[in-house]
Structure 1
Amino acid sequence: MGNSAINAGGLRERKRAATRATITAVARSLTAERGLSGYTVEEVCERAGISRRTFFNYFPTKEDAILGHIDDDFPEEVVARFMAGGAGSPAGEISASLLDDLVRLSLDLSERMSASEEETRQLIGVIKKEPQLMLRIIGATEEREADFARLLAAREGVAADHPVVRMAVVLLGNVARKTSADYFSEGNTRPYKDMLLENISAARTLFSLPFTMSSSDTSQSNPSEGAQ
């Protein structure tokens, strides 16, 4: 395949990504303004400058448009930089730079939020009032965490159910969500980066404390059980 064909394919994908991101931005903006039931797909299309058919080529419902596409959450260049960080470690061994690279990835992604901060604050308020949207977000979060686990496992050369991979996804995901909730809370003036690094530092302090329990300890019977 020639370079022109490769470039054309890349250009088409960039255009698709731009259209997809525009649809999501418009859907989120309208949801923030009016609530989920306060606008139609046609209004999304009008603001985005697309046809109704184009909308449904990208998203099956308004809810899906609001959630966006995982490729928009994980831009190619950001993912490539993260994946390259594990190149120096032998396959099957967790790289020493993994935690640093995960934090850098979180910061890179936070800087690329498609919605403005004000739109995001409004959207958070809408989500609290829209139970059906919250359920969809929970489901989408689980899917994206599974996708991220596969990405992380591929970088480290281990299985997706490797304990370190599973805990990295769960722990870092919850730290990021907690940081975002605090960052977008009313009255906050602190930068996201400072808050994330503070929370990561607190987690590291917790997990650096002495831990003496072993698996054999958990297999021992509870003394109170023998007295019954």
Structure 2
Amino acid sequence: MTTAERTRALRRSMVSEARRAVVDGGLQGFTIEQLCERVGVSRRTFFNHFASKEDVVLGIELNADTALLAAYAEGTVVPTTLAPLPSVIALIIEQLHVAGIDRADEALVRHVFEREPALTARFLSATDTQIKKVADAVRQRFAWHDPADPRARLVAEAAVGVIRVSAGTYFADDFDEASGPRFDELLDTNLRLMTEAITIPAQEGTS
């Protein structure tokens, strides 16, 4: 196992343990020190990866994807021939290949929000921050340097829409993971459908 893989495994362990602790006793039912003891890490190690107890529960890592977004902004990671929106979807797929995706973990997250609905606001704020980071990377990659140019933000928001629709299918209770498409396949399919939907000319007689 490489150092990067060990780091990802450690972060996943901290996040999973924190989420289980919230489901069992709420956000105030455990301390960071208790979490560190359960996972077998020091307090210093914890704060190397997460800024707060709320952030570890939500899986909001410090400097998450910073290197990957920087590389994408510089024109690497995904093919340079891709248009802006497909390039962001390809970037997300690349992230999935590294971090993976777990349907069981998503169910645990739902239980967390049921137990601590106040975490929703923090999650939405973190999501908006991440969208802005992606938009900045898109802006740099495609040299859209005018601050008033909305295209980079539109691309990032559109990518979020594709992710949400794909996640709605993949994480549905009746989805069969054994026979159904992989999440990255759903992303590709929904990107294609979205592109077709916004480029097909209006039919005659419609307005």
Aligned residues: 194
- With the length of structure 2 as denominator, give the TM-score of the two structures: 0.74
Give structure 2 stretches of 5+ with no counterpart. Answer: 203-207
Residues 47-66 of structure 1 mapped to structure 2, 5 A cutoff = 47-56=38-47, 58-66=49-57
SS in 2 for 1:140: helix
**CA offsets, 1:168-204, max 9 Å, x none?**
0111112112212321121212221232222212211
Q: 1:69 aligns with which of 61, 69, 76?
A: 61
Tell me the distance in 1 between the aligned counterparts of 2:118 and 2:75: 38
Contact 1:179 1:199 in 2 (8 A): yes
Q: 1:155-178 CA deviation, whole Å, 9 max, x = no partner? A: 112236532211101111121122
Deviates more, 1:135-144 or 1:49-58: 49-58
Residue of structure 1 equivalent to 2:37: 46
Q: Identify the match of residue 125 of structure 2 among 139, 142, 150.
A: 139
Identity %: 24
**Is the alpha carbon distance of 1:34 and 1:180 closer, same or farther for their aligned partners in structure 2, counting shifts above 3 Å?**
farther
Match of 2:198 in 1: 207
Change (3 A) 1:113 1:36: farther
Task: Specify the alignment match of 2:205 in structure 1.
Answer: none
Corresponding residue of 1:101: 87
Select 1:148's aligned residue among 134, 142, 161.
134
Kindly name which structure, 1 or 2, has the bigger radius of gyration based on alpha carbons.
1
* 2:117 equivalent to 1:125: no
Structure 2 CA distance for aligned equivalents of residues 110 and 145 of structure 1:
17
1:170 is paired with a residue whose SS is helix
Maintained 8 Å contact 1:82/1:105: no
**Do residues 177 (structure 1) and 168 (structure 2) align?**
no
RMSD over aligned Cα, in angstroms? 3.4
CA contact (8 A) 2:78 2:90 kept: no
Q: Distance in 2 between matches of 1:19 and 1:40?
A: 18
TM-score (normalised: structure 1): 0.68
Amino acid at match of 2:198: F
SS in structure 2 of the partner of residue 201 of structure 1: helix
Determine if contact 1:45/1:55 at 8 Å carries over to the other structure: yes
Change (3 A) 1:82 1:118: farther
* Preserved CA contact (<8 Å) 2:84 2:155: no
